[in-house]
Structure 1
Amino acid sequence: MNTTPLYRQLANHYLDAIRSGTLKTGERLPSIRLMMEKHAVSLSTAVQVCRELEDCGVLEARPRSGNYIRQPDTLPRPAPVASAPALDTSAYVGIHQQVSTVLKASQRATIKVNFASAYCAPELYPLKTLQDNMIKSLRYDTSLLGAAGSTCGNSALRHLLARRALASKTHLAPERIVITNGATEAINLALRAVTRPGDTVAVESPTFYGLLQILESLSLRVLEVPASAHTGLNLSALEGLLQGPEPVKALIVIPNLQNPLGSIMPDANKARLVKLCAEHNTVLIEDDTYGDLVDTEQPLSTLKHWDRTDNVIYCASLNKTLAPGMRLGWISAGKWHDRVEMLKHTQSRGCELLSQLAVSEFMRTPSYERYLRRLRKTLTVQRAQMSTAIARYFPIGTSVTHPQGGTLLWVELPRRHSSMAFFHEALKVGIQISPGDIFSNTERFDHFVRIGCGAPYSPRIDEALQTLGRILKAQG
């Protein structure tokens, strides 16, 4: 009996047709509807087939046109990161200084094009709607700015967040949600609630540099666990670390659209990860900041969905999906709720109320879902345009991830290139990128860069990418 999932069997069928030349570059793949009829499969299976082919780098979606075969080796994806031995946690020092050097250099430069941002361009956010909602809130309650909000945040917003979480099969109790100043504060609170200075915390590698700064600021020792752009965290490597002599107090993971890899962890891996952490008494801290930007109508499951022992602390944010200027995030800390609530009160008191009211007013309407669908479609186009341009302008041997959502591309340069040298040369001509060095305390990513795709493609962006290509080629 064939135990391979049906969607993968069909994907392999089409891969064989591409390899044999039956399906040629530029030809259109059968539509989702036709695939459903031809193979007698469900809509979700047909969509999974296309996602699998896109993940293999042989399929590209063209807006309002369909799915087309692309040259598979035009822009190869990075090979999965192999398992690595446990890293020496005593070597984990100084990442804050390295990140600060990069950020300060960027602040001093005159930036014309910013590829370092993980945000969307301001014009893609519903700013006018949010502004109108703020004005309505102030008119309705003229004393609003004179009152302090509760530590946990606006009750209506917390109920909305809990209700929306149900779509991803995640059960959050509204009364045990705390509104925070973005996901950064949420993760800070989670770590402060479950660790002490000197404890060991595991993270994905590479991971968001801001997280590395948080960990260093809390005097926590760190283990970096290899992750790949295909399936995220390497569970075999993690299991080896958890079985080692050094207890791992907590693990921080971005399961859906990991930053910077853009990986999505399969459901089987999510379930195994939650079980693994529970068995080893390692608190699992989930960052779901990018979940709403995944290219699916049906939200992906969260790690919290698989949690049976209340061992997962769920953190999320609206900074990337709705309004960066509002800095709204939240944390559902389960059995650590009381401690998190007190830490929140001690650290920053309650979050500003006006933005919470404006957001909850928007999120309660059908317009919010329509907005998210438009945003996801727009970002799909922008990522494809950026990826194509990188293939055209960067040196031979460059590879790039193909994330199924979000605003980020993780680009691997030929090994002879230094991402830090590339960063400084780009700054000289007013172009900002994120060098791979700051996403790890190791040197494994010194020839990678993170490129943001949050702005609509334009001649200015195209010219900037051409310039970056010329810089790389001049470096040899």
Structure 2
Amino acid sequence: MDDPLYLRVAAHYRRAIDTGVLVPGARMPSLRTLMRLHRVSLSTALQACRSLEDAGVLEARPRSGFFVQAPRRSTLQPVREPEPGSAAVADPAPYSGIHDRVSDFVARSERFPVVTNLAQAFGAPEAYPREALKNAALRALRRRPEVLVSPVPPQGDAGFRAVLARRAMAAGMSPTPDEILVTHGCTEAINLALRAVAQPGDLIAVESPTYFGLLQVIESLGMRTLEIPTSPSRGLSVDALALAFSTHPGLKAVVVVPNFQNPLGSVMPDEEKLRLVALCEAHRVALIEDDIYGALGDDGQPLRTAKSWDRSGNVIHCGSLHKALAPGMRVGWMLGGRWQARIRMLKYAQSRPNDALAQIAIAEFMGSHAYDRHLVRLRRQLKTQRMLTAEAIAAYFPAGTRLNVPTGGMTLWVEMPGGRSSAAVFDAALAAGIRVAPGLMFSNTGRFDHFLRISCGAPFTAQIEAAIARLAQIVAADG
């Protein structure tokens, strides 16, 4: 059977690229030109270019068209999986000190002018629909000027919660709007969840490595962490967690990022998510799910949440638009499960409802196809930036460097060779005007000091490539 027409058109240009007729950086013929030359529809022309983009030989540039990419550079070995024996979970962190450590890194960052920031885990401002959100906010003010002088419903704007409930269906959940509580981002949601299920001194299981902000929240609440081995490819080890339940019967909660975990970028397979939900339910231990990156998968297919398998209310689901839509608005939400009433009380006591204007504006945008189109653009942009950043690391970093390239999200977890110190690399990079996130921040132990988290949320430019090349020199010198 003949290949589809769009693949035949794509093959024509793939040959031109492979033979050097179209060189890296060259602009592809416009879609209109392809339609005329090959007598195909706009849909076929676009499919042909998209297939070449997915193959890594073209890149789409906003309002400019498609361009030939430089050939892929050498790849790196993946980050090592946890050792089989690591199912023997380590004792709880022997000290609390993540606040001091993070504060120290922030303070040192402020002493040097940062020219290139490779530490921020969100997209560039131009990646988000600024004008559309501004116009939505203006329309909301014209329609409902009273929102500026009226109390907000305790759970959040009803229209926004209705939109969130509809969108949640794509991830396998079926909440009612009344079950949704709007929060000040995902951090407040996790803070409320932990306060609802645990007390100071209680033990909380987390992934290892995990986002340093979570470690800060747990420490600020006077709780302790138990780090569970986590695979760069499959996420948290459910077997190790099962062992932890038997050796640490006082566990009160498990906090997990099943989809594009920060910093690893791992995605738990659905069968592991199901095992995790069942295990926590069997032990009556709260499972707190952070799904802040779940909408940012390359293929656009919705990833199921752990909450989608919850039948007893034992899973607390936390989400946010901080990464996917509006970093400046800090709008999040949560499903409190069987702790819903307590969480509502804690939210009221802690911070009261969020302001309504942002919720109304976001509801209008999220309730339309404009949000879906934005996500398509953002995912493609992040995929390209992630690939180019990974290729630059492979090209410039010293031999023995390891790297996993996830299929979504906006960060890369880099294992430096020879036990290089992330703290030393952090200091030397800052002196060169480059900011990275040292692996030492992602654990209450020192086991990840030879890692760096590098962001690929910003467009890949010559400045970023030069910064990665300079960072590679610093890593090599540290060895």
Mark yes or no: TM-score above 0.5: yes
In the aligned structure 2, how far is the partner of 1:269 from the partner of 1:453? 28
- Structure 1's 344 and 467: CA in aligned 2 closer, same or farther, altered over 3 A? same
* 2:383 alignment partner in structure 1: 380
Q: Secondary structure at the match of 1:323?
A: coil
* 2:75 alignment partner in structure 1: 74
User: Could you tell me which of 134, 156, 170 is aligned with 1:153?
Assistant: 156
What whole-Å deviation, never above 9, does each CA across 1:391-444 have from its counterpart, x for those lacking one?
111111111111011110000001331001000111111110000001001111
* 1:409 alignment partner in structure 2: 412
8 Å CA contact retained: 1:257, 1:264: yes
In the aligned structure 2, how far is the partner of 1:241 from the partner of 1:126? 44
In the aligned structure 1, how far is the partner of 2:70 from the partner of 2:246? 46
Query: Aligned AA for 1:81?
Result: P
* 1:112 alignment partner in structure 2: 115
8 Å CA contact retained: 1:199, 1:249: yes
* 1:23 alignment partner in structure 2: none
In the aligned structure 2, how far is the partner of 1:445 from the partner of 1:248? 24
Following TM superposition, by how much is the alpha carbon of 1:84 offset from its aligned partner in structure 2, in angstroms? 4.3
What whole-Å deviation, never above 9, does each CA across 1:356-415 have from its counterpart, x for those lacking one?
111001011111101101110111000000000001111111111110111100000013
In the aligned structure 2, how far is the partner of 1:212 from the partner of 1:241? 18
What whole-Å deviation, never above 9, does each CA across 1:122-162 have from its counterpart, x for those lacking one?
00000111111111111222332122312210111111111
In the aligned structure 1, how far is the partner of 2:298 from the partner of 2:122? 17
TM-score by length of 1: 0.85
User: Could you tell me which of 321, 335, 338 is aligned with 1:335?
Assistant: 338
In the aligned structure 2, how far is the partner of 1:416 from the partner of 1:305? 40
In the aligned structure 2, how far is the partner of 1:377 from the partner of 1:424? 33
Of 409-418 and 132-141, more deviation after overlay is shown by 132-141
* 1:128 alignment partner in structure 2: 131
Following TM superposition, by how much is the alpha carbon of 1:107 offset from its aligned partner in structure 2, in angstroms? 2.7
Q: Residues 83-232 of structure 1: matches in 2 within 5 Å?
A: 83-89=86-92, 91-232=94-235
The number of residues matched between the two structures is 419
In the aligned structure 2, how far is the partner of 1:357 from the partner of 1:271? 35
In the aligned structure 1, how far is the partner of 2:288 from the partner of 2:471? 37
Q: Secondary structure at the match of 2:409?
A: coil
Q: Indicate whether 1:269 and 2:281 are aligned.
A: no
In the aligned structure 1, how far is the partner of 2:454 from the partner of 2:221? 29
Following TM superposition, by how much is the alpha carbon of 1:93 offset from its aligned partner in structure 2, in angstroms? 1.1
What whole-Å deviation, never above 9, does each CA across 1:194-215 have from its counterpart, x for those lacking one?
1111111100000000000000
* 1:306 alignment partner in structure 2: 309
Q: Secondary structure at the match of 1:106?
A: helix
* 2:46 alignment partner in structure 1: none
What whole-Å deviation, never above 9, does each CA across 1:167-190 have from its counterpart, x for those lacking one?
111121210111000000000000
- Structure 1's 60 and 102: CA in aligned 2 closer, same or farther, altered over 3 A? farther
TM-score by length of 2: 0.84
In the aligned structure 1, how far is the partner of 2:251 from the partner of 2:209? 18
User: Could you tell me which of 278, 286, 306 is aligned with 2:289?
Assistant: 286
8 Å CA contact retained: 2:421, 2:478: no
8 Å CA contact retained: 1:63, 1:381: no
8 Å CA contact retained: 2:413, 2:451: yes
In the aligned structure 2, how far is the partner of 1:247 from the partner of 1:70? 50
* 1:391 alignment partner in structure 2: 394
* 2:8 alignment partner in structure 1: none
* 1:323 alignment partner in structure 2: 326
User: Could you tell me which of 338, 352, 356 is aligned with 1:353?
Assistant: 356
In the aligned structure 2, how far is the partner of 1:302 from the partner of 1:69? 36
Name stretches of at least 5 consecutive residues in structure 2 with no aligned partner. 1-17, 20-53, 60-65
User: Could you tell me which of 447, 464, 473 is aligned with 2:467?
Assistant: 464
Q: Indicate whether 1:447 and 2:450 are aligned.
A: yes
- Structure 1's 386 and 69: CA in aligned 2 closer, same or farther, altered over 3 A? closer
In the aligned structure 1, how far is the partner of 2:429 from the partner of 2:194? 36
- Structure 1's 332 and 67: CA in aligned 2 closer, same or farther, altered over 3 A? farther
8 Å CA contact retained: 1:230, 1:264: yes
Of 346-355 and 75-84, more deviation after overlay is shown by 75-84
Query: Aligned AA for 1:232?
Result: G
- Structure 1's 209 and 124: CA in aligned 2 closer, same or farther, altered over 3 A? same
Of 314-323 and 143-152, more deviation after overlay is shown by 143-152
8 Å CA contact retained: 1:92, 1:222: no
Q: Indicate whether 1:246 and 2:249 are aligned.
A: yes
Of 236-245 and 327-336, more deviation after overlay is shown by 236-245
Q: Secondary structure at the match of 1:324?
A: coil
- Structure 1's 166 and 260: CA in aligned 2 closer, same or farther, altered over 3 A? same
- Structure 1's 90 and 384: CA in aligned 2 closer, same or farther, altered over 3 A? closer
Among all aligned residue pairs of Structure 1 and Structure 2, give the percentage whose two residues are the same amino acid: 47
In the aligned structure 1, how far is the partner of 2:351 from the partner of 2:187? 13
In the aligned structure 2, how far is the partner of 1:329 from the partner of 1:207? 20
CA RMSD in angstroms comes to 2.0
- Structure 1's 67 and 229: CA in aligned 2 closer, same or farther, altered over 3 A? farther
Name stretches of at least 5 consecutive residues in structure 1 with no aligned partner. 1-25, 28-58
* 1:432 alignment partner in structure 2: 435
8 Å CA contact retained: 1:195, 1:249: yes
8 Å CA contact retained: 1:277, 1:283: yes
Q: Indicate whether 1:367 and 2:370 are aligned.
A: yes
Q: Secondary structure at the match of 1:450?
A: strand
Query: Aligned AA for 1:163?
Result: R
Query: Aligned AA for 1:80?
Result: E
8 Å CA contact retained: 1:162, 1:171: yes
- Structure 1's 213 and 60: CA in aligned 2 closer, same or farther, altered over 3 A? farther
8 Å CA contact retained: 1:60, 1:69: no
